[in-house]
Amino acid sequence: MSELVEEVVLSPKDFATDQDVRWCPGCGDYSILKQVQSIMPELGIKKKDIVFISGIGCSSRFPYYMDTFGMHSIHGRATAIASGLKISRPELSVWVVTGDGDALSIGGNHLIHMIRRNFDLNVLLFNNEIYGLTKGQYSPTSPEGKVTKSTPIGSLDHPFNPLKLCLGADSTFIARTMDRDPKHQREVLLKGSQHVGTSMIEIYQNCNVFNDGAFEVFTDKSSKKEETLFLEKDKPLIFGNENEKGIKLDGSTPKVVNLSEECIDDLWIHDDKDKFKAQLLTTFFDNPSVEGHLPRPFGVFYQEDRYRYEEAMEEQIQYATKKDGKGNLDELLRGKNVWKSE
């Protein structure tokens, strides 16, 4: 007689460890941790098949607080380590937790190559526009003129636009959310986890010690509706205190219009499969010269289906080892071109 095994129903608490969470009181990382733990039971994946990998930074403490497998790796190399894990264990759900300094400075090279290869993993990029763990130096996303401990007269560097960079590396999923909007954050995390390929989610995260209020204009009730644009598939781009404003395209230039003067049917309709429009959306970050002040977009900018590196590699191995029943992988790797001394 076979023994019946009762399926265990997990809750968010099952993904919390017994470790003391050591972030500064009020840090935005707490919100992100809570939302990630909240979606885990909905993924339908066994805990033993989930892995969190981080580099170095405040965000990189994440694996200690997730009751899953994990690795606290080295500065900027979480993406490389996660890529290797996904190749060797493609059945695992792999999550990379990184920051704007970790991913876009020393780790920038690894990041773009992981993206172009399109491994099926999830990247959470905590962007607080500062180096928090090392006590407040400017980072690759700090705005020009930013006064920090390492730039007392103001930063001279032009900052990276993370999603624009990732789209330029042919990312198959880019999205943005923020720590102080937990509902939206949760929705975006779920959409990213459902994507087959590399999902890149930028999360605006407030560092209340070294860069407090960097994103306040997008979170404060008095300004949020005027400064944010929430993207919804197949719906027009509308924003404003009374949803009285919209965005239309004048050729290839975005234009802010008032709906009392324009027909809603003429507005830009969001299509997350349209790469050209996604590129324009990433430039809202730069506030180009247009009619009206552009709000900052949040949500899924773009997604596409494309082959994954681990999938292609497995097909190549199968071809090399099974072609005509005579394939030999060792011979393929050694090759026919050898050098011999006289």
Domain ranges of the chain: 12-234+271-309
CB 119 within 8 A of CB 83: yes
Residue 293 DSSP SS3: coil
Rounded distance, CA 199 to CA 339, Å?
44
Please, which residues have CB within 8 angstroms of residue 153's CB and are 6 or more apart in sequence?
147
Residue 273 DSSP SS3: coil
Q: What is the pLDDT of residue 288?
A: 52
Residue 9 DSSP SS3: coil
One pLDDT digit (tens) per residue for the chain, 342 residues: 444 444 678 999 999 999 999 999 999 999 999 999 999 999 999 999 999 999 999 999 999 999 999 999 999 999 999 999 999 999 999 999 999 999 999 999 999 999 999 999 999 999 999 999 999 999 999 999 999 999 999 999 999 999 999 999 999 999 999 999 999 999 999 999 999 999 999 999 999 999 999 999 999 999 999 999 999 999 999 999 999 999 999 988 999 999 999 999 999 999 999 999 999 999 997 655 555 689 999 999 999 999 999 999 998 888 777 756 566 767 767 777 767 776
Q: What is the pLDDT of residue 291?
A: 57
Tokens standing for residue 252: 């290839």
| Architecture of the CATH domain 12-234+271-309 | 3-Layer(aba) Sandwich (3.40)
Query: What value, to the nearest 5°, has the Cα angle with vertex 261 and ends 247 and 255?
Result: 25
Rounded distance, CA 44 to CA 14, Å?
13
If residue 296 lies in a helix (H) or strand (E), which one and from where to where? Answer: strand 296-303
Nearest to 29 by CA among 277, 209, 170: 209
Buried b (16+ CB within 10 A) or exposed e, 278-309: bbbbbbbbeeeeeeeebbbbbbbbbbeeeebb
Residue 202 DSSP SS3: strand
Residue 196: other Cβ atoms inside 10 A? 14
Question: Which residue type occupies 197?
Answer: G
For the chain, the straight-line distance linking the first and the last C-alpha, in angstroms and rounded, comes to 72
Note if the pTM is more than 0.85: yes
Query: Which is it for strands 245-250 and 173-178: parallel, antiparallel or unpaired?
Result: unpaired
What are the beta bridge partners of residue 297?
229
Query: Which is it for strands 122-127 and 199-204: parallel, antiparallel or unpaired?
Result: parallel
Q: What is the pLDDT of residue 325?
A: 57
Q: What would you measure as the largest C-alpha separation in the chain, in angstroms?
A: 86
Question: What secondary structure letter does DSSP report for 236?
Answer: B
CB 105 within 8 A of CB 76: yes
